[in-house]
Amino acid sequence: MSALPNRHPIGDEFLLDYASGTAPEPIALAVAAHVALNPESREALSCLEAAGGALLNGLAPAAIDDASLDHVLARLDTQEPTLRPSRARVADSPLPPALRAYVPNGIDALPWRRRAGGLAEAELPCGDGRRYKVSLLRIGAGKPIPRHGHSGEELLLVLQGGFADEHGHYVRGDVCFADAAVEHRPLADSDGDCLCLAVTEGPIRLKGLLGFLLRPFLRR
Amino acid sequence: MLRLVTVADAPLDRRMPPDFTGRPTPERAAEEHVRALQAIALHGDRQAFARLFRFFAPRVRAYLMRLGSDDAAAEDLMQDVMLTVWRRAPTYDPALAGVSTWVFTIARNRRIDALRRVRQPPLDVDEPALVPAAPPLPDSAVAALQWEAKIATAIATLPPEQAQMLKLAYFDDRSHSDIAETLKLPLGTVKSRLRLAIGRLRSVFQPEESP
């Protein structure tokens, strides 16, 4: 029953922010998508949500008006407005459920834009769009994302295929975290395209001549 | 071994030591909450709902006010949360979470929906695409209830500075750097205290021995 070797889980601090409800939407999306694919992280999140439950129990109860319960009782039989998206069409999608609401018509219908040689990017509307950019990246088999540094945090969640950088090898469900201290050059595995969810804080800084040439295209 | 069905069915005195004070122990209260949710799910039991309401409504309201809701907003949102508890009772799975945890996640999500107007991307646990965890232990329904108690104990025995950090993280809706600024602590200290606290909580979940 031992865990798979070399898994790359998301950092505990992101799980805490999700559990406590303080994560901005792009981070919450990355966490929800990741834990769907990683049972250990899901269990860690359950643990932190249980902490929320325990802290809720421990709060000094606030005063409640007697009429409060009656108001709610009177509303019990009203119908809940439901906005559940249909799942049938995307049953075989590589996207975890949390992501599907952001990709309602499937991956191929997204506005993909070619970047460097084997890289394509489709931006997803998520959050207020000011602090984070959220996108799907498709890296061609055996192709790199150009070497880049970061002005803020970057989370790459592998949804399909895999890639390797200087720090490890990442497969479906793994999270590659980078911040301002990290420079890396992810290289997709040669056996197929790699699909990733990218959540990027602030502009990324591309290195080298290729990066210089690409910069106008990667700007937000 | 206690299974989910027996949580509701077995006579109380077989599972719990007698409580001579007449006051429910936290463990017994937790089991009562499970039974109440099951009664709501099975036959729309309004009295069971009223019991849950009396316990959780004041705490949910306190939670919302801690996070900065004013009186009227906290009342509206609390009613909304309790209504959601009623409607979603059939989806509650005692093998996955204690009732307090479940109510907490509803309150958290409704608050985000209402106040921030952003979505909390949900983790849909019924989703077949989830990569399955190891098969649950036979008594996991009981285990989920015990987690809550164990987590509560773990929080109560955290070093004060870690417990403080954890409460700020859950109840103050501030980023780690805001917390650091308020407490006049380096950001690294805030993060490392939180990391230590999380480690302690996670260790509660670790199996006693690894195969």
Whether residue B204 and residue A47 make contact (CB cut-off 8 A), yes or no, is yes
Both tokens of A20, joined, read 């406590």
pLDDT band at B4 (very low <50, low <70, confident <90, very high): very low
Q: What is the average per-residue pLDDT within B124-135?
A: 53
pLDDT top residue among A142 and B148:
A142
Tokens 């979505």 -> residue: B119
Phi, psi of A36 (to 5 degrees): -65, -30
The CA-atom distances, in angstroms, between A45 and each of A18, A38, A124, A146 are 8, 11, 25, 33
DSSP secondary structure code for residue B137 in this structure: P
Indicate the residue of B61, B82, B104 with minimum beta-carbon distance to A49. B104
pLDDT band at B163 (very low <50, low <70, confident <90, very high): very high
C-alpha distance across the termini of chain A, in Å: 44
Give the whole-angstrom CA distance, residue B179 versus residue B65: 18
Q: What is the pLDDT of residues A8-52, one digit of tens each?
A: 999 999 999 999 998 988 999 999 999 999 988 988 999 999 999
User: Between B98, B121, B148, which is nearest A28 by CB?
Assistant: B121
Residue B53 has pLDDT above 70, yes or no: yes
Angle at A85 between CA A80 and CA A88, to 5 degrees: 130
User: Does residue B63 sit at the A interface (CB-CB below 8 Å)?
Assistant: yes
Indicate which of B56, B104, B137, B176 best probes the interface with A, i.e. most A CBs within 10 Å of its own CB: B104
Distance of CA B126 to the CA centre of its chain: 19
Residue A81 pLDDT > 70, yes or no?
no
- Answer whether residue A151 shows pLDDT above 90: no
In angstroms, the CA A122 to CA B85 distance is: 37
pLDDT single digits (tens) B89-114: 999 998 888 999 999 999 999 998 88
Whether ipTM tops 0.90, in short, is no
Query: Encoding tokens for residue A190?
Result: 């040669």
pLDDT at B138: 45
Distance linking the first and last C-alpha atoms of chain B: 22
Q: Chain A within 8 Å of B105 (Cβ-Cβ)?
A: yes
Q: According to the model, what pLDDT value does residue B150 have?
A: 87
In the block, tokens 């049938």 appear at A88
The pTM of this model reads: 0.83
Rg (CA), chain A: 20
Nearest to A37 among B74, B131, B173 (CB): B131
How many angstroms separate the CA atoms of A159 and A156, rounded? 9
Q: Which of A51, A71, A91 sits opposite B151 (nearest CB)?
A: A51
Are the CB atoms for A55 and B66 separated by under 8 Å? no
Q: How high is the pLDDT of residue A3? A: 45
Strand partners for A149: A205
* CA gap A165, B211 in Å, rounded: 32
- The nearest CA of chain A is from the CA of B13 a distance in Å of 24
- Separation between Cα atoms, residue A154 and residue B134, nearest integer Å: 30
Higher pLDDT, A126 or B33: B33
CA neighbours closer than 13 Å in the CB half-sphere of residue B71: 4
Asked if B137 reaches chain A (Cβ–Cβ under 8 Å), the answer is no
On chain A, the residues whose CB falls within 8 A of the CB of B76 are: none
Judging by DSSP bridges, how do beta strands A154-160 and A119-123 pair with one another?
Answer: unpaired
pLDDT tens-digit map of A152-211: 889 999 999 999 998 899 999 999 998 888 888 889 999 999 999 999 987 655 555 555
Rounded Cα gap, residues B158 and B152, in angstroms: 10
Are the beta carbons of A210 and A145 closer than 8 angstroms?
no
B205 has pLDDT over 80? no
